[in-house]
Chain A
Amino acid sequence: MQPAALKRASALVDELFGGDVTPWIYVWLRVALAGIVLIRHSDWLSPWIELEHHRWVHGLDLGWSATKEPPLSSPLALGVALNEGATTALVWTRTLLALLLLFGVFPRLAALLLGLVSYTLMASDRFHYYHHLHLLYLAVLWLSLAPLGWRPSNQSRPLWPLQLLRAFVVGVYFASGVAKLQGEWLSGAALEDLHRFTLVSGSLFERLSHALGYGSIAKLVVATELGLALLLCLPRTRRVAVIVGLGFHAAIEASMDVSTFGAQMAVLLIAFWPGTVESSVLK
């Protein structure tokens, strides 16, 4: 590579990853993601609030639930089939690690192990796979790179772990948008089918579909997802994109059962709110 090109690449990396960020964002991500892991993987809130996963999660999620021998063994990855004892141990370990992360006890190690244990449990049974769980575990793993340990509250933190987490979120919007760039979605046929099978419903969707038609809503969804992927990357439009994104997920929540997906994306969108700070101590 030519020295000039090398300099430009180095400057770009500095621009992308250099600088500091306000410390509250890492506290927010740690507490919120750990909280969602605990809420999504248990029915503990069922006496107070009805969440979608309470329909099938009783006790701790991904625990051993076959009631007779021999259980179906269908791991997602070779060699990850678990027996009842190992599954139960990992489910409790996951809960303990999420609590450690929530309260900031060895938080980086807790996040790393939480991600790995959660993936092991998911891979032990292919039917455990859900996009929103994959999203949650990946977010926790990316968070394990962040400076989560205790420091004086006014001391800023390095930006680069946050930038990686942001890139991951941008990648999710971009991939979701790209997957919909095909005739069946863009024509509105897929959305109409989802509506017919009541996978999409609710008064907001009914009004929109009457006013705009399936095809227009489908194109609007793609434009929003790809638009968010772009606007979240640009410092000038980042905060507007956060607000648009929150509205987008609120609309999805009002129209579909997507478990904790909306809450997860809302938590991750907040990661785009803080700006870069230059000094190591916030004024």
Chain B
Amino acid sequence: MLLALLPPLVAQALGETVGSFAMFSVVERYQLKLGVRTPAGDRRVPLQRLAPYLSNDARRIVVSAESGGAGRDPANILAGGLPDLLRLACELEPEATAARVTLLRGPLRSRQLSPTELELECNRPH
């Protein structure tokens, strides 16, 4: 009985989206920026560039995040997938020495969004 009742509450207590059933209880705004470092300098990678390499569901969240999206669940899911997006950026940009992603998120009404930045060195086989 407890196995049927408790998992959503445990997920909420752990701050997890998956399994929390915390539908629409908090609304956030988020925006995603992706870039690469190359020998010629830093360059922005439009998220639309990733679209053919993504599943339908990933496309809906990732590509639209360029201009900004709303919802805590997609923001959490996106936050969990940032290292994977960096790896993909490294694979797609052969001249990149590193990839950098910035996830900006915060309350819908807030003008200032808090950034989470992640960078990955692109290790190329020699």
A residues with CB within 8 A of B? 16, 56-58, 62, 64-74, 76, 125-129, 131, 134-135, 142, 163-165, 167-168, 170-172, 174-176, 178-180, 182, 184-185, 189-190, 193-194, 196-197, 199, 256
Contact = CB atoms under 8 A, between A and B. Distances in A.
A70 B53 contact: yes
B91 A70 contact: yes
- Nearest 7 A-B pairs (CB), nearest first? A175-B8, A179-B22, A74-B84, A127-B58, A167-B4, A68-B52, A171-B5
Given A62-B57, A190-B27, 16 more contacts: A66-B53, A68-B52, A72-B55, A73-B84, A73-B87, A74-B84, A126-B80, A127-B54, A165-B4, A174-B5, A175-B22, A179-B12, A179-B22, A194-B27, A196-B108, A199-B24
Q: Which of B55, B71, B109 has the most CB of A within 10 A?
A: B55
Contacts of B32: none
A172 B92 CA distance: 41
Contacts of B59: 65
A134 B57 contact: no
A67 B58 CA distance: 13
A163 B3 CA distance: 12
Interface of B: 1, 4-9, 11-12, 17-27, 50, 52-62, 70-71, 73, 77, 80-81, 84-85, 87-88, 91-92, 107-109
Contact of A197 (B9, B53, B73, B108): B108
Nearest to A135: B21
Main secondary structure of the interface of A (DSSP, over half): helix
A65 B12 contact: no
Contact of B20 (A62, A67, A71, A179): A179
Contacts of B58: 72, 74, 125, 127
Contacts of A165: 4
A184 B62 CA distance: 26
Nearest to A70: B91
Contact of B18 (A62, A134, A194): A134
Nearest to A196: B108
B77 A197 contact: no
A262 B85 CA distance: 33
A134 B19 contact: yes
Given A74-B81, A182-B25, A164 B4 contact: yes
A216 to B, nearest CB: 17
B27 A193 contact: yes
Contact of B55 (A16, A65, A172, A180): A65
10 contacts: A56-B56, A65-B56, A72-B84, A76-B18, A129-B77, A168-B5, A176-B8, A176-B21, A180-B25, A184-B26
Contacts of A73: 84, 87
Given A72-B50, A180-B25, A127 B81 contact: yes
A125 B87 CA distance: 15
A58 B60 CA distance: 14
A273 B53 CA distance: 47
Contact of B26 (A57, A126, A190, A197): A190
Given A127-B62, A164-B4, A197-B27, A175 B81 contact: no
